[in-house]
Amino acid sequence: MSKKYVYMFEEGNAKMRDLLGGKGANLAEMASIGLPVPPGFTVTTEACLEYNKTGELSDEVVAQVEDALAKLEAKIGKKLGNIDNPLLVSVRSGARASMPGMMDTVLNLGLNDQAVEGLAKKSNNERFAYDSYRRFIMMFADVVIGVPKSYFEEYLDEYKAAKGVKYDVDLDAEDFKKVAAKFKEIYKEKQGVDFPQEAKVQLYEAIKAVFRSWDNPRANVYRQMNDIPYDWGTAVNVQSMVFGNTGSKSGTGVLFSRNPATGEKGLFGEYLIDAQGEDVVAGVRTPSAINDLAKEEDPVLRGIHTQLVNVADTLEKHYKDMQDMEITFEDGHLYMLQTRIGKRTAPAAIKIAVDMVSEGLATKEEALLSVDPKQLDQLLHHTFDKDALAKAKPLGKGLPASPGAAAGKVVFTAEDAKARAAAGERVVLVRLETSPEDIEGMVAAQGILTVRGGMTSHAAVVARGMGACCVSGCEEIKINAAEKYFDLGGVRFTEDSYISLDGNTGYIYGEDIPSADAEISGDFDTFMKWADDTRKLQVRTNGDTPRDAKTALGFGAQGIGLVRTEHMFFEEERIPKMRCFVLADTTDERKEAVKALEEYQKTDFTAIYEVMQDLPVTIRLLDPPLHEFLPTTDAEFQAVADIMGKSVADLKVKARGLHELNPMMGHRGCRLAVSYPELPEMQTKAIIESAIAVKKSKGYNINPEIMIPLVGEVKELTYVADIVKKTADKIIAESGLDIEYKVGTMIEIPRAALLADEIATVAEFFSFGTNDLTQMTYGLSRDDAGKILADYLDKHIYEADPTARLDQNGVGKLMKIAAEGGRSTRPDLKLGICGEHGGDPSSVEFCHRIGLNYVSCSPFRVPIARLAAAQAQIKYPR
Amino acid sequence: MSKKYVYMFEEGNAKMRDLLGGKGANLAEMASIGLPVPPGFTVTTEACLEYNKTGELSDEVVAQVEDALAKLEAKIGKKLGNIDNPLLVSVRSGARASMPGMMDTVLNLGLNDQAVEGLAKKSNNERFAYDSYRRFIMMFADVVIGVPKSYFEEYLDEYKAAKGVKYDVDLDAEDFKKVAAKFKEIYKEKQGVDFPQEAKVQLYEAIKAVFRSWDNPRANVYRQMNDIPYDWGTAVNVQSMVFGNTGSKSGTGVLFSRNPATGEKGLFGEYLIDAQGEDVVAGVRTPSAINDLAKEEDPVLRGIHTQLVNVADTLEKHYKDMQDMEITFEDGHLYMLQTRIGKRTAPAAIKIAVDMVSEGLATKEEALLSVDPKQLDQLLHHTFDKDALAKAKPLGKGLPASPGAAAGKVVFTAEDAKARAAAGERVVLVRLETSPEDIEGMVAAQGILTVRGGMTSHAAVVARGMGACCVSGCEEIKINAAEKYFDLGGVRFTEDSYISLDGNTGYIYGEDIPSADAEISGDFDTFMKWADDTRKLQVRTNGDTPRDAKTALGFGAQGIGLVRTEHMFFEEERIPKMRCFVLADTTDERKEAVKALEEYQKTDFTAIYEVMQDLPVTIRLLDPPLHEFLPTTDAEFQAVADIMGKSVADLKVKARGLHELNPMMGHRGCRLAVSYPELPEMQTKAIIESAIAVKKSKGYNINPEIMIPLVGEVKELTYVADIVKKTADKIIAESGLDIEYKVGTMIEIPRAALLADEIATVAEFFSFGTNDLTQMTYGLSRDDAGKILADYLDKHIYEADPTARLDQNGVGKLMKIAAEGGRSTRPDLKLGICGEHGGDPSSVEFCHRIGLNYVSCSPFRVPIARLAAAQAQIKYPR
């Protein structure tokens, strides 16, 4: 039994999107509920994948197409390529997910020098026939053969100019005959062979061209941005043509059942009389608003509007969501050419979701599922003015590392960013890569652009944490930071140049594009309340400062999942003290240095506790390699030398000794605590003493969770946990207060995941550090991943950047091993995630499914995680 | 029911070593086969571990000791601390594995001011009683309290000098009375309290001191060197004293049943008349050779010799191995104080093993198990002259990275090493760390010493491959390579200084210690033949040159498991061409550069195939990060610039762009092949074309195994494997020959292990790259592990360096997942290991157990792996 590659519309339904694509499945579905759909058939996505692998349509596929075509011809009573009564068809792509404008379409297929005459006779409309023919020649040349349509359009413009008219409607049958003849000449001139007259040849070439368009560069880019796997493929829909270009009772239109920008109920869209579909898109004539159809003089047209209102209503009830439709009306008869769930802005998405529930069209669960969590980003960040953005031309592209829009003058150092921002300038910080010392500059800048680094590079992580726009890893940039300029897309940028960054797409513009804050509506609160009522997974935030904590609380965070204590050490006043620690030779020197830091830590923890009140706060002990703190300039060395009473030369020798070849896998995390027990001792002291202080002064119930990073072996956890407990218990006992605290660990080293059952004998909670876990599991450094990821995405080796979207297959397998292992030892083990994946919807769903208690993400991603968690609960109830 | 912590000797046997330690178990065993053993009891290793954790002997342990003591007193008819008839005991350590001289012993315990009088009366020997008392005071002070015995010995020397005598035997009872009295004064002076008169106090303090000695620095170092886990603990043996110091028919001795240096059969050892055990060790008097006992005038002593010959024979038959015994004879009665398997040199071990089989004392299996595979290193490498080594004092210690002995003058650069060695000097290369460009200097040097890097650093891996001595990671060294000197142990070494390295221990000496090649006897071949007949696991070698291949074949390798192609690119003539590839901007430039390299590769592969003939050869495609090949000096840049017709400035910009923050997890391995398909194409061409050439010219059946490194995802393997197969199949088809080849992968990325079932759909073999797999699984860079490992071994967090001994628990778990996953997809999947662990015996055993087909290791470790594989098969037959 051979596989079924071709389905007549009447054989399909909406549930068959994987095989028939969205368009094919919905055409079938509309046909089945009695809406007027021109007959046709769909060639499956499986046929596409096979074609793209082998480069040939198999005999089986061809045989089934022939069979379907015969059925179609019988149904319509016309024959493809027939001279007297030709069947014309459209050949259109349709993938499982909507990818608007990414792939190709051919209309009016089946016309040739004889058939066009037959069509003219049969329709009694020679002008229409030749108009259709010239359209077909151009589309076939452009889409199937790759001869750009500009050659044809240029000629048409010349022709109209010569005749002294402006619009196509001003041309008559004779004109189109001449144009069609000339188009065939252009075709032959560019392609070297005659335009194919054989209709079957036209059909198969068109099908193959649509299949190939699945692999075109813009489709690949779109898929990467939207997490659409390459191996879905596209289907092809072959449908009998209906014509909007047969006269004044004919036309074409695209419309939504609600306003996609605002969410307001009612038809929204455009139509054109006496035109085919591509005319609307091409903007040849200015179309009218769809509701103007109700004001047309011709009652036939007004009737179409009435029909449309009913159709939209029917489809919304049927699909329980806002619809995006394509229609054609031919001599007063309405035909549905497509319907799909309509894309919409974030505010519209929220309004529609809430309205649909109050209209009784959808349940709360359906409403929650109708909004893409990633879209919420738009609500929380600066966005560019849409029209201004549409006109701007990007000069380059990096990774969309942190959403939002930023525009300003270029600065090359954090100091400059601070100074010029303080002077009232809008600036964008451009760096080879950022380091913790750049933080103040990053805060001051509108946005950050880096040449190196991936989605979890320092710049990306910090920017997301602050809600600042960041584009990272734009390797095309040639930067000369010393001389303060860089080159991109053939343009040299200096400190006087304006630049704009789109953090949602990664595009970089060489101009100052205006932007605005988005607003959050009352519907948003209603909607998020539904999400909170639904989800089982808690959502915490990663935050290092009281400011972060406040922002995240405002976004609905239920605690802090990660305080990175090291971020506190980079402030101007503090860093010299940290450097004394790093450059110390003896334990005594280290203890001395640590003492100074203890007070800072207490101040910080106290402030964070006061914001979070009774909510849980997880504090991670010092994590990064020490050399991150090292002085770089002579002045900085001198400052440390003065404090320590040492020579700069000695300190420089010491600093060189701290160099590591692979710092990511070097002396960091709990390894620092093992080497220098005075460090966890000091940090524990600060954590517990500030908890006691806040409990005393404010009465909040502070129960800190102390997290030990980079554990790979239970004995190292035991070693550090013993220090923490001994220190904490003593302080608590002396305070006479009842302070509960937990000691847990990050699971971020593959070995820790593998041996989680042992680790859980000591750890009271696990938090998956999926940034490091992904790096180690892949053996791929996030700082060096730029070129590798580009090549791998290009060659379809990776479907997505694993540092941005959790690799459920590999890293996820380790997480499952760890979750099961940990809970086998300690059934009530609290499990969370604090890697950047905690804010990625598909990763959140995975965390829900493997039984985590919470996800923790940057403040600005908290709403996304809340919605994603609700959706996960609806899809996989637990 | 409480745990049993104390066993009378008659309750134990030889199988209870884990609980009773080796000494306790063997005392029990000897008692059970009727040999004369003074009664006593053993406190278990479990009691030790509990004590070392809590710092206290539990009530339960004390109660059981009291009980055992009562039984012992009843059996002997004496009482501990009794004034008239005191029981004296020895308190000695005894761990599961023998750790000679590492832990502590107290003799004559139970004496005090009264008991000494009782002993004098009872033995009718006042001199003996006070001799025993003064010995006890000193030992107790030294071992239990920590007052160094030098204080006491100095006084004794003064006393003898004052009296004008040389030896202790020249002192009489009155002398010892005075000495004992003075010893008590010294004790009080140093310790601040009186010497304890209460015998029970003495006993428990001594037991605790022995337990604590498990944790002393020299014991810790010994354990690390010998892979003895900390959590084994030591037992304590409390045994009634017998006295070798009661007169001329008494004495003490230590002896072996065969010569431990040569393996020759017959008693070998020493004895002393009228002395206690520690006198032999201390060298107070010169002992006599044990066989002189047969020539003593006193027939009683000659009788003891006869008894010893019988006892040795009995024990050898019983234990089926050579024995190391401690004896005391008291008034003509022989007592066995200890027996254990005797340590021996490698040549002796081989001879004894072969002899035992021909004597019918042991089976071949038992003989194979009797030799420690690691010992074979001694047979294959240079060793220091034993006496000269004993006299030398080490100035520092690094990691014993590659065995052997090296002595010569210090050189600081590879060039100097080459030049001075060519001029006939013996030189030792001292570097901060080595890089591939140092290879020629490393070959020229006697040995290599590095300041940084662990057991799998570049220096270590290369040195082991060459069989050269290497000590790595000696972080105490302060090196100034520019000015050509370094400081270690307070000494400044310049180019004129001699230095000696012991690659077996890691010790560094500031002098020129003579050394010699060890010789391989005929017994060695016999013995290794047995191993080969026994083992199921094949042994291959890692080798990059025909020289390596020849060496390994001589050592019995059955193929090459790893040819690292990159090592071929570092030769002076070749490296500029490689640099052209690395610094190329376009694919065309890369193709051009690759062409030049292809000829080199063909030459190399041809030579290797010709050595290996029909044996399998696994060739790995280019693996290291490209920047390893970068030019460093201006002259080097200029050379590349000349070839490429580019400017040095442009090349430097390009070179800077190749910098990576964590190169170990960067653009390397198959990632290079994905980015630059021309690379695997060229390498495949060279591999297959040389195979064809050798098949044609020599008739050998060359079936190359092409190995794709650093795979983490099946699609990247597919991508590169497709290139390899397409290239290879075309060449083979054109040749008309029948060349079979395999395409496989390294499993060295955790994700590859986790998803091995998918990977095996493409890979025809797996080779575990446990160097990288260990790094990634631990998140620990081998280049940066020095300080971390030192701290972790110190604090008992790691039992062993996981880069040297395979972590069976964590990394091994991944290997099992991979082996099972791979074979679930492809049951005949060939599995091997080519990480450095392939030559480590415990790791080889693990590989055998999880069903690998072969291990591959450096040439000089091949014999070790062969024996380890045989032992694994005996222990775990498959």
d(CA A47, CA A208) in angstroms, rounded, equals 10
Q: A712 to chain B: which residues are within 8 Å by CB?
A: 777-780, 810
CA distance A728 to chain B (A): 20
CA torsion sign for A611, A617, A620, A621 is positive
CA-nearest residue to A817 within chain B is: B754
Closest Cα to residue B858, out of B460, B526, B514, B470?
B460
Per-residue model confidence (pLDDT) at position A169: 80
Residue in A747, A777, A813 to test binding to B, most B beta-carbons within 10 Å: A777
Residue B519 is predicted with a pLDDT of: 66
Residue A103 has pLDDT above 80, yes or no: no
ipTM higher than threshold 0.85: no
Q: Give the closest of A663, A674, A795 to B662, CB-based.
A: A663
Q: Which residue would you say has higher pLDDT here, A26 or A515?
A: A26
Nearest CA-CA partner of B81 in B199, B194, B196, B241: B199
CA atoms of B25 and B11, how far apart (whole Å): 10
Chain A residues with CB-CB distance to B811 below 8 A: 751
Q: What is the CA radius of gyration of chain B?
A: 32
pLDDT tens digit sequence for A670-684: 999 999 999 999 999
Of the candidates B859, B222, B163, B824, the residue with the CA atom closest to the CA atom of residue B552: B859
Look up residue B149 and give its amino acid.
K
Nearest chain B Cα distance for residue A798, angstroms: 8
Tally Cβ neighbours within 10 Å of residue B762.
23
Question: Is A784 close to B661, i.e. CB distance below 8 A?
Answer: yes
pLDDT band at A519 (very low <50, low <70, confident <90, very high): low
Residues of chain B with C-beta less than 8 angstroms from the C-beta of A750: 750, 776-777, 779, 810, 814
Match 């103007």 to its residue by tokens: A292
Contact B791 A671 (CB under 8 A): yes
Q: Which residue has the tokens 């198959």?
A: B670
Query: What are the φ and ψ backbone dihedral angles of B765, each rounded to 5 degrees?
Result: -150, 155
Q: What contacts B769, CB < 8 A, 6 or more positions away? A: B709, B746, B747, B748, B834, B835
pLDDT band at A518, cuts 50/70/90?
Answer: low
* pLDDT at residue number A380: 82
Are the C-beta atoms of residues B763 and B822 closer than 8 Å to each other? yes
Distance from CA of A668 to the nearest CA of B (A): 9
pLDDT value, residue A473: 86
Give the residue ranges of chain B where pLDDT is below 50. none
pLDDT at position A294: 95
Cβ-in-10-Å burial (0-12, 13-18, 19+) of A588 comes to exposed
Q: Counting every residue, how long is chain B?
A: 878
Provide the 3-class DSSP secondary structure of residue A127.
Answer: helix
How many beta-carbon pairs below 8 A join chains A and B?
171
Q: What are A324-346's pLDDT values in tens digits?
A: 999 999 999 999 999 999 888 88
pLDDT of residue B473: 86
CA distance B693 to B739: 11
**Predicted local confidence at residue A400, as pLDDT:** 86
Q: Among the options A305, A382, A458, A848, which is catalytic?
A: A458
Contact list, B798 vs chain A (CB under 8 Å): 713, 715
Closest partner residue to A667 among B662, B710, B787, by Cβ?
A: B787
* Full-model pTM: 0.82
**Dmax of chain A from CA atoms?**
102
Known active-site residue A458: yes
Q: Is A39 left (phi over 0), alpha (psi -120 to 50) or beta?
A: beta
Nearest chain B Cα distance for residue A843, angstroms: 18
Which residue's structure tokens are 């060939």? B830
CB B210 within 8 A of CB B103: yes
Length of chain A equals 878
Q: Reading across the β-sheet that carries A485-488, which strands appear in turn? A: A478-480, A485-488, A491-493
Chain segment A406-449, per-residue pLDDT in tens? 999 999 999 999 999 988 899 999 998 888 778 888 888 999 99
The torsion defined by the Cα of B119, B122, B123 and B129, in degrees rounded to 10, comes to 20
Phi, psi dihedrals of residue B855, rounded to the nearest 5°: -115, 150
Partner residues linked to A424 by β-bridges: none
CB nearest A751 (choices: B665, B795, B810): B810
Sign of the alpha-carbon dihedral angle for B406, B410, B414, B415 = negative
Whether B834 is catalytic? yes
Q: Name which residue leads in pLDDT, A245 or B234.
A: B234
Strands (E), A63-123: 79-80, 86-87, 89-95, 105-109
Question: How would you write A340-353 as a 3-class SS string?
Answer: EECCCCHHHHHHHH
Token pair belonging to B397: 């210690």
Residue B666 has its nearest CB partner, among A713, A784, A796, at A784
Sign (positive or negative) of CA dihedral B115, B118, B122, B125 = positive
Looking at beta carbons, which residues of chain B come within 8 Å of A713? 797-798, 810
- Which residue reads 């701007």 in tokens? A392
